[in-house]
Amino acid sequence: MSETPVRVRIAPSPTGPPHVGTAYIALFNYAFARSQGGKFVVRIEDTDQARSSRHYEEAILRALRWLGLAWDEGPDVGGPYGPYRQSERLPLYQHYAQELLERGAAYRCWCSPERLEAVRQQQRQAKLPLRYDGHCRTLSAAEIAACLRQGQPYVVRLKVPSRGETVVHDAFRGAIAFDNQQLDDQILLKSDGFPTYHLANVVDDHLMRISHVIRAEEWIASTPKHVLLYQAFGWQPPVFMHMPLLRNPDRSKISKRKNPVSLDYYRRQGYLPEAICNFLGLMGWSMPDEREIFSLEEMVQAFTFERIRLGGPIFDLQKLDWLNGVYIRRLPPEELVRRLYDQLITPLLHRLRDTLYLRRLIPLLQERLPTLGDFHSLAAYFYQTPLRYDPALLVPKGRSARETANVLAGAAEWLQRYEGPWQDAELESCLRAYLESTKWDARSLFMSLRVALTGRTASPPLFATMEVLGRELCLTRLEDAVAALQKQS
RNA sequence: GGCCCUAUCGUCUAGCGGUCUAGGAUAUCGGCCUCUCACGCCGAAGACACGGGUUCGAGUCCCGUUGGGGCCA
């Protein structure tokens, strides 16, 4: 049944920061490989010299590793079919281009950019599809020899059959037929000796024994050219599976103009890698039991391509936020502290590092964090001194500033005299006793206190917050609030 | 424009001919909990793009239209 071992790959171009689309495709390659006991390969497609950089390559690998999508073979770990960087495989492509030439499946083309532009111009005017007109396809042996002798630079083009059709078998969509007349005589080898995507991709997938090409839908249109190449070489093509394309909210292909796409962004923002994987696993795929929260391992366990949907899913930040919050809430507090340090290296955290303070805040903040990054604004009043806020917030509806000042001053005095433990439940009893002595309602008093102590109208529960802030800071802040109100009235 | 892909609530999706007066999640709105927020719980509103077939029966199969998207420029 299993004729060929499952080997899949992702082939990112290191021309920019790690992209969420790369992670998406990597996830499904990974899940398929693992579920089949196959191999997952990373190959770097860096034949675009001008735009590729080692810096981006490292960033991409780092991001994939961060997500937990470990690969079996790749530029960093090596493997039996290396090298795994196309820039280190150049002679291979030249060799295979030569083979194509010899087999008559490709030809050299000496057309100048000017001529090509002129042809295109004409086709545009005649409203014809814009394709190479095949000028050099028909060069005689003598003409070719002459050009070669003169050492003129040339490109190598694929000789697409002028008739018939090329059928692409997509495992999700079935047979897709392309009229050969619609296909361009694609350039395979550029005049500088570098291969184009099409040649390098096919040669490498074959040499690396890739069994299934799982890639994004945007590649469907170039697949017939790849099929033609496999045929020309006499190679068995892999199984093609084109995943739907992630979309912006306006349904266009996901792009940085309309949606954050860098995995580095999501990491810095404080999204957990497991939440991102889970979220991507929900894009076009679902668990058999409709569970929405699942780990990478669980996805692998349950993985099957039958559950793929082909409509392009919109990358919805709102749902990601919810999911991320779920994962943050599930973290053991110690682990959350560790993640905060790992993912959010900031001056604030450095300051807190030597204290147990952070550990004490965590229970108050954990269920209020959509992302780790929200820690900064949520925790601000635990370390900022003095607090900055609008004193008007201290005054409840229907009360005057003067009244409020008196009640807060009273509370400060009451707390001053209080000698019990500075703890949640005890503080509540203490302040409820104080509440009795005023004519205020709990809601108003506690809101005033909340604003005085945190500078906000929304905070974690008041008494637990007071416990963490500590007696001294609480009393200082109450005095500050009273002073601010007195200055106002 | 040509070729190709695609189509269930705003969004992610379940559904693989009858159990669908279409289920879940998220977002939204309302309620409960409550010192506020959040979490949690309960509830409301919200979709099979349209038209033809096939069939006893279609969200589910086929064709077309329309919408969306990709590729080539």
pLDDT, tens digit, 9 for 90 and up, residues A321-368: 999 999 999 999 999 988 988 877 565 566 555 557 788 889 999 999
- pLDDT at position A294 over 90: yes
Residues of chain A with pLDDT > 70: what percent? 96
Q: Cα-Cα-Cα-Cα dihedral of A346, A349, A353, A355, to 10°? A: 160
Three-state DSSP state, A277: helix
Q: What is the pLDDT of residue A1?
A: 44
Among residues A256, A258, A319, A487, which one is catalytic?
A256
Please give the single-letter amino acid code of residue A233. Answer: F
**Residue A176 beta carbon within 7 A of nucleic strand B:** yes
- Going by pLDDT thresholds of 50, 70 and 90, the confidence category of residue A429 is very high
Are the C-beta atoms of residues A467 and A424 closer than 8 Å to each other?
yes
**Residue A171 beta carbon within 7 A of nucleic strand B:** no
Residue A450: nearest nucleotide (C-alpha to C1')? B36
Q: E-strand spans in A102-164? A: 106-109, 155-158
Residue A219: nearest nucleotide (C-alpha to C1')? B71
pLDDT, tens digit, 9 for 90 and up, residues A436-476: 999 899 999 999 999 999 999 999 999 999 999 999 999 99
**Residue A461 beta carbon within 7 A of nucleic strand B:** yes
Are the C-beta atoms of residues A108 and A136 closer than 8 Å to each other?
yes
Residues of chain A with pLDDT > 90: what percent? 79
**Residue A180 beta carbon within 7 A of nucleic strand B:** no
Distance of A246 CA from B13 C1′ (whole Å): 15
**Residue A252 beta carbon within 7 A of nucleic strand B:** yes
Q: What is the pLDDT of residue A342?
A: 80
**Which residue is closest, via its CA, to the C1' of B4?**
A221
Q: What is the pLDDT of residue A348?
A: 59
**Residue boundaries of the structural domains of chain A:** 7-87+246-325, 89-243, 385-486
ipTM over 0.90: yes
Are the C-beta atoms of residues A323 and A275 closer than 8 Å to each other?
yes
Q: How many helices (H) and strands (E) does chain A have?
A: 20, 9
Mean pLDDT for the stretch of residues A87-104 = 94
Residue A217: nearest nucleotide (C-alpha to C1')? B70
CA A453 to centroid of chain Cα atoms: 39
DSSP string, A414-448: HHHH--S---HHHHHHHHHHHHHHSS--HHHHHHH
The residues of A between 58 and 97 with beta carbon within 7 Å of nucleic strand B are none
The residues of A between 189 and 248 with beta carbon within 7 Å of nucleic strand B are 217-218, 220-222, 244-245, 247
**Residue A291 beta carbon within 7 A of nucleic strand B:** no
pLDDT, tens digit, 9 for 90 and up, residues A403-426: 999 999 999 999 999 999 999 999
User: CA A309 to CA A159: how far, in whole Å?
Assistant: 35
- Tell me which nucleotides of strand B come within 7 A of a protein CB: 1-8, 10-16, 23-27, 35-40, 68-73
Distance of A330 CA from B14 C1′ (whole Å): 26
Distance of A170 CA from B12 C1′ (whole Å): 25
**Residue A379 beta carbon within 7 A of nucleic strand B:** no
Please state, in angstroms and as integers, the Cα–Cα distance from residue A332 to each residue in A68, A227, A259, A366, following that order: 19, 51, 31, 10
Residue A323: nearest nucleotide (C-alpha to C1')? B26
How are beta strands A187-189 and A239-243 bridged, if at all?
unpaired
Three-state DSSP state, A109: strand
Catalytic, A439? Answer no
Distance of A300 CA from B50 C1′ (whole Å): 40
Please give the single-letter amino acid code of residue A236. Answer: Q
**Which residue is closest, via its CA, to the C1' of B37?**
A458
- Going by pLDDT thresholds of 50, 70 and 90, the confidence category of residue A487 is confident
Kindly report which listed range (A30-34, A169-173, A246-250, A397-401) carries the lowest average pLDDT score: A397-401
**Residue A129 beta carbon within 7 A of nucleic strand B:** yes
**Which residue is closest, via its CA, to the C1' of B39?**
A367
Q: What is the pLDDT of residue A372?
A: 94
Q: Do domains A7-87+246-325 and A89-243 have the same CATH topology?
A: yes
CATH of the domain spanning A385-486: 1.10.10.350
pLDDT, tens digit, 9 for 90 and up, residues A385-398: 889 999 999 999 88
Q: Identify the residue with better confidence: A209 or A191.
A: A209
Q: Which two tokens stand for residue A180?
A: 């050969």
Mean pLDDT for the stretch of residues A224-250 = 96
- pLDDT at position A141 over 50: yes
Q: What is the pLDDT of residue A489?
A: 65
User: CA A336 to CA A334: how far, in whole Å?
Assistant: 5
**Residue A133 beta carbon within 7 A of nucleic strand B:** no
Q: What is the pLDDT of residue A4?
A: 83
Q: What is the pLDDT of residue A180?
A: 93
Mean pLDDT for the stretch of residues A469-485 = 94
The residues of A between 25 and 64 with beta carbon within 7 Å of nucleic strand B are none
Q: What is the pLDDT of residue A345?
A: 58
- pLDDT at position A174 over 70: yes
Q: What is the pLDDT of residue A3?
A: 67
**Residue A426 beta carbon within 7 A of nucleic strand B:** no
**Residue A314 beta carbon within 7 A of nucleic strand B:** yes
> Measuring CA to CA, which residue among A378, A301, A281 is closest to residue A336?
A378
**Residue A313 beta carbon within 7 A of nucleic strand B:** yes
Residue A177: nearest nucleotide (C-alpha to C1')? B4
What average pLDDT is seen over chain A? 92
On whether the pTM is more than 0.90, the answer is yes
CATH value of A7-87+246-325 in 3.40.50.620, 1.10.1740.110, 3.30.365.10, 3.30.413.10: 3.40.50.620
Q: Which CATH superfamily is domain A89-243 in?
A: HUPs (3.40.50.620)
